[in-house]
Structure 1
Amino acid sequence: MGNEDKYLRAKKRVENLKAFYIHLTVYCLVNIMLFVINLMTDAGYWWFLYPLGGWGIGVLVHGLTTFAHGNFGSEWEERKIKEYMEKDKKDI
């Protein structure tokens, strides 16, 4: 793997990390706003917990895919890329 490939992979990881932090920040700000609205409307129940939990699952999955160091880390990606390239060679 050349330096250019390493640079492009590192750049992609940084972009993914930045996207996750933006997602997390928006999640926090929006859910704080929903909490305040829930307090002000006196709905009688905590409805803001539903978007908090649902969206929270999405943030959790985004975080797991961003910070994956186990089975789905960069080594796994490389193996899969090589596997598909080999398969394409055989199909041609």
Structure 2
Amino acid sequence: MELDNNLEEQKFIRAKKKVETLKSFYTHFAVYLVVNTILSTSKVIRNMNNGETFQEAFFDLNTLALWFLWGVPMLLHAFKAFGFNFFMGSDWEKRKIQEYLNEGKNERS
């Protein structure tokens, strides 16, 4: 019975951690959209006041680089939040924990 309670507690902790990770991603994404929209709008307006057309101002390399340079970490955060684990695999953490548990058993023997 105690083992079942422990497993349920572990499941709850994992679920809570996943929700916190998703919440962190959604907050990051909202900030990404708001800040980049404000900065891009100000750049486009400034460039248009300097005599550029809307297309020239909007497709300026600096404006697009702003979205791209912050977009790369945003994409990596999305991979982490939604479980696209390319580098270590989705069950890497479980395997590592099991490996360390097995090492502890071998040391006690």
- Computing the radius of gyration over CA atoms, which structure comes out larger, 1 or 2? 2
Contact kept in structure 1, 2:36 and 2:67, CA below 8 Å: yes
User: Could you state the TM-score of these two structures normalised by the residue count of structure 1?
Assistant: 0.81
Greater displacement, 64-73 / 1-10: 64-73
Q: Can you give the 5+ residue segments of structure 2 that lack an aligned partner in the other structure?
A: 1-5
Residue in structure 2 matched with residue 34 of structure 1 by the alignment: 39
| Structure 2 CA distance for partners of 1:54 and 1:79, relative to 1, 3 Å | same
TM-score by length of 2: 0.70
Runs of 4+ in 1 over 4 A off after TM superposition: none
The partner residue of 1:60 within 72, 75, 79 is 75
RMSD: 2.3
Q: Does 1:7 align with 2:23?
A: no
AA aligned to 2:102 is E
Higher relative contact order (CA closer than 8 Å, sequence separation 6+): 1
In structure 1, C-alpha distance between the alignment counterparts of 2:45 and 2:37, rounded to whole Å: 12
The worse-fitting range, judged by mean Cα deviation, of 10-19 and 28-37 is 28-37
Unaligned runs of 5+ in 1: none
Q: Size of the alignment, in residue pairs?
A: 90
